Amino acid sequence: MDTITKAKKAAGEKAASLVQPGMLVGLGTGSTAYWAIEKIGQMVKEGLNIRAVATSIASEQQAIALGIPITSFSEIQQLDIDIDGADEISEDLQIIKGGGGALLREKIVAHASRRKVIVADERKYVKTLGKFPLPVEIIPFGWELVFKSIQSLQGAPTLRTREDKPYITDNGNYILDCMFGAIENPEQLHHQLKAMTGVVETGLFINLKPTVIIAYENGEVKTL
C-alpha cells in the first residue's frame, strides 16, 4: 500500500470512528470514502447497529457485501451523518466533488444530513478551487447546447467518456468536466451553471460547514 493510499485509509477510518450506534449514515463515493465504508462494515460485523443510504450503486454494492443495512429516503427523512470524499477542498472549506461521477446523489445525501464529514488526502486541500475540472451533470438530450453555454462563461468543458462512449451516471445523465481556472466565487458560478437549461447539478458543494478530515503522507491526520 503506497503512502497516498495509506493516507486515504487513515482519513476514512478516522471518519468512521464518528459513527455511533443507532445512527442513519450517508455513505459516500470514491477512493477515500471506500475506506470509511470498509471500516464501518467491520464495525457492523462487531455489533454496531446502523442503517445507511449510499450515494452510488458502487458504494451500495460495497456496503451490502460488508453487511451494512441499506435504507432509502422512502423510509427516512434525514441522516445523522454523511461521510464522503472530495476532489478539492479550499481553505474556506468550499468543495468540488464529482470526479467519481456521483455528484448528484452525493449532494442529495449531504443536504439530508445533520453532520457532513469530508475525508481527503493532503493533495486535495488547496488555497483556491479550480485546478481540478469542475464536473457538471447534464441531461443527454441537447448536451451540445449546454457545452456551448459553458464556453460562453469562459469555461472549457470536456464531455466525460468511458471506452470512447459518453460516461453515463447512475441517473442516466452525462457529465461535462469544466476548466474555469481559479474559481474565486464558487457560489456565483454554481448559480450561473444551475440557471442553464439542461444542467442537472454542479460539483460545487457550497457552504456545507463540514467537518474536514485531512490525512498526510507522513501519517498525520488533521481535523479542520
List the pLDDT tens digit at each of the 224 positions of the chain.
899 999 999 999 999 999 999 999 999 999 999 999 999 999 999 999 999 999 999 999 999 999 999 999 999 999 999 999 999 999 999 999 999 999 999 999 999 999 999 999 999 999 999 999 999 999 999 999 999 999 999 999 999 999 999 999 999 999 999 999 999 999 999 999 999 999 999 999 999 999 999 999 999 999 99
* CA distances (Å), origin 166, targets 71, 106, 145, 172, 194: 30, 21, 16, 11, 21
Residue 72 assigned ligand-binding role: no
Residue 82 assigned ligand-binding role: no
- How many Cα atoms occupy the beta-carbon half-sphere of 162 within 13 Å? 7
Residue 169 assigned ligand-binding role: no
CB 66 within 8 A of CB 8: no
- Between CA 167 and CA 98 the distance in angstroms is 13
Q: Which CATH superfamily is domain 134-202 in?
A: ACT domain (3.30.70.260)
Cα angle 114, 115, 116 (rounded to 5 degrees) comes to 125
- Between CA 47 and CA 137 the distance in angstroms is 38
Helix axis angle for 3-16 and 33-45, nearest 10°, is: 50
Residues of the chain with CATH 3.40.50.1360: 3-124+207-223
Whole-number pLDDT of residue 1: 84
pTM of the model: 0.96
Q: What is the DSSP letter of 70?
A: B
Residue 47 assigned ligand-binding role: no
Active site residue 187: no
Residue 99 assigned ligand-binding role: yes
Catalytic residue among 13, 60, 88, 106: 106
φ and ψ at residue 29, rounded to 5 degrees? -130, 140
CATH topology of domain 3-124+207-223: Rossmann fold (3.40.50)
Residues of the chain with CATH 3.30.70.260: 134-202
